């Protein structure tokens, strides 16, 4: 730094630098806290809107009369980790469920939001987070390619485990030119989701919005 | 007296972050698969550079040389985090497109470089101008690099620009080579290095030709003698 007059004595002390650094750290901390408090509610609201928007893409509005974000069901799966299921109800009965599945893509995890009807048929699937190669693997995004909509209307009962694969592996679904791992990851994630639904179908569908039914279910299980 | 013309020239060409200083190559190579991504990253970086330049210029007389680097890093990180939170809350549509790039800005050594070499020695307004034009120069570098990689790599230009800039900009999305199969190497990181290398060579050539042209008139009889 260019200086014409000599530095004042106090600036040469170690304490000045320490206090300066501490002061700026406090300033930055205060600014961040303030920013966080100011934006916290808005960010939460935006995230809820996003979630609702992506849920509405995998569960048609005609299928439900409830708020999809309300009272999601957390089921403890094997391995003690629990998964959140968003349930669409119409007239008090569960008409569809939506949940996230994760597949291993080329660039890491591919998160797929999957919507299924009561019979385990795919209502819609959307990739909500991925890190695949732009221009190749990112065709799994519905904004860039219609590929993911080819999954709609199919079920495990219809195609079987062998059908739920990319064509290269002997299944029903197209891979992309130059990218097989990415669509494979999506299909595998969806297939695992279908399996999961088949295993937990009773719990996911039988429970209505009333708690009494839940108790009945539990009792039945105990018997 | 601040020479704003100099600042503009430095930022956009003579001392361009990408082509002359060769800083910020990490975010540069990471996001320039398409021209649109380059544009988004460039604009976000420009905003951060202007604000961080002003803040650092404001505190420049207080900060001692011994602790300047941690203080600058702290300020830049705080500003980037604030921008990230505010965009998420209030410009959410834009955030969904740019959000990916914002945390990368912290790792952008060009911002610390400008803080160190310009903002810590100059008044607030000059630092803001420097941030703006350095940022625009960086944006230019990103867009050119992204455009070259996109055209060679996938045959399109400004794909998905409407996602970044809004529907009215749909006209920018061009498919230059219909039915083109793509050249994967260009989209992957090695393509970034290759294209950057050719662009740097191109700039050197241009600069060399310009300085030859500038030197040529000297032997002419009507040339004014150079003082000293």
Q: What tens digit of pLDDT does each residue of A63-78 get?
A: 888 888 877 788 777 6
- Contact assessment for residue B115 and residue B52, using Cβ atoms and an 8 Å cutoff: yes
Inside any domain, residue B228:
no
Which residues of A are less than 8 Å from B186 in CB distance? none
Domain positions in chain A: 59-222
- Contact assessment for residue B79 and residue B111, using Cβ atoms and an 8 Å cutoff: no
User: Chain A residues with CB-CB distance to B under 8 A?
Assistant: 1-2, 11, 16-17, 20-21, 24-25, 28, 31-32, 35-36, 38-39, 42-43, 46, 49-50, 133-136, 143-144, 177-178
Inside any domain, residue B224:
no
Query: What's the mean pLDDT in B36-65?
Result: 88
Looking at the predicted structure, is the pLDDT value of residue B45 above 80? yes
Decide: residue A206, CB within 10 A, 0-12 exposed, 13-18 middle, 19+ buried: middle
Q: In what order do the strands lie in the sheet with A122-129?
A: A73-76, A82-90, A93-105, A108-117, A122-129
Quickly count: other Cβ atoms within 10 Å of residue A107's Cβ: 16
Decide: residue A2, CB within 10 A, 0-12 exposed, 13-18 middle, 19+ buried: exposed
> How close, in Å, is residue B131 to chain A by CA atoms?
19
Whole-number pLDDT of residue A23: 93
- Record the pTM: 0.71
Inside any domain, residue B221:
no
Inside any domain, residue B227:
no
Inside any domain, residue B139:
yes
Using 50, 70 and 90 to split pLDDT, how confident is the model at A32? very high
Q: What tens digit of pLDDT does each residue of B161-176 get?
A: 777 777 777 777 778 7
Rounded to two decimals, the ipTM of the complex is 0.71
For residues A168 and A165, give the distance between their C-alpha atoms in angstroms, rounded to a whole number: 8
Q: What tens digit of pLDDT does each residue of A126-156 get?
A: 998 888 877 778 888 888 888 999 989 898 8
**Total domains present in chain B:** 1
Backbone angles phi, psi at B103, to 5 degrees: -60, -25
Locate B88 and state its tokens. 């998420």
- B153: domain range? 4-215
Query: What's the mean pLDDT in A161-179?
Result: 86
Average pLDDT, chain A: 82
């Amino acid at each position: 730094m260019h200086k014409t007059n000599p530095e004042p004595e106090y600036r040469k002390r170690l304490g000045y630098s320490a206090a300066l650094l501490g002061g700026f750290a406090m300033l930055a901390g205060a600014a961040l806290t303030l920013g966080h408090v100011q934006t916290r509610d808005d960010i939460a609201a935006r995230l809820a809107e996003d979630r609702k928007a992506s849920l509405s893409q995998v569960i048609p509005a005609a299928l439900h009369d409830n708020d999809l974000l309300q009272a999601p069901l957390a089921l403890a799966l094997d391995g003690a980790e629990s998964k959140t299921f968003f349930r669409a109800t119409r007239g008090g009965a569960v008409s569809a469920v939506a949940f996230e599945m994760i597949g291993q893509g080329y660039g890491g995890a591919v998160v797929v939001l999957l919507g299924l009807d009561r019979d385990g048929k795919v209502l819609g699937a959307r990739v909500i987070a991925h890190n695949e190669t732009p221009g190749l693997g990112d065709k799994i995004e519905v904004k860039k390619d219609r590929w993911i909509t080819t999954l709609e209307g199919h079920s495990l009962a219809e195609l079987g485990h062998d059908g739920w694969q990319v064509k290269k592996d002997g299944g029903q679904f197209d891979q992309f030119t130059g990218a097989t791992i990415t669509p494979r990851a999506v299909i595998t994630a969806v297939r695992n989701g279908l399996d999961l639904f088949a295993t937990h179908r009773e719990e996911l569908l039988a429970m209505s919005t009333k708690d009494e039914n839940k108790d009945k279910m539990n009792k039945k299980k105990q018997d | 007296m601040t020479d704003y013309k100099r600042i503009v020239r430095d930022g956009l060409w003579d001392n361009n972050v990408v082509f002359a200083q060769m800083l910020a190559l990490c975010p540069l190579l990471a996001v320039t698969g398409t021209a649109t991504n380059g544009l988004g990253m460039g604009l976000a970086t420009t905003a951060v550079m202007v604000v961080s330049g002003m803040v650092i210029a404001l505190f420049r007389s207080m900060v001692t040389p011994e602790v300047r680097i941690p203080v600058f890093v702290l300020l830049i990180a705080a500003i980037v985090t604030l921008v990230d939170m505010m965009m998420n809350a209030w410009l959410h549509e834009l955030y969904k497109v740019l959000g990916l790039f914002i945390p990368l800005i912290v790792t952008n050594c060009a911002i610390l470089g400008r803080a160190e070499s310009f903002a810590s020695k100059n008044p607030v307004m000059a630092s803001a101008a420097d941030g703006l034009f350095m940022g625009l120069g960086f944006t230019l570098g990103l867009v050119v690099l992204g455009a070259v990689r996109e055209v060679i790599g996938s045959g399109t230009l400004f794909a998905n620009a409407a996602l970044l800039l809004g529907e009215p900009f749909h006209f920018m999305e061009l498919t230059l080579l219909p039915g083109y199969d793509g050249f994967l190497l260009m989209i992957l990181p090695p393509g970034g290095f290759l294209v950057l290398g050719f662009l740097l060579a191109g700039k050197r050539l241009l600069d060399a030709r310009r300085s030859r042209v500038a030197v040529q008139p000297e032997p002419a009889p009507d040339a004014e003698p150079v003082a000293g």
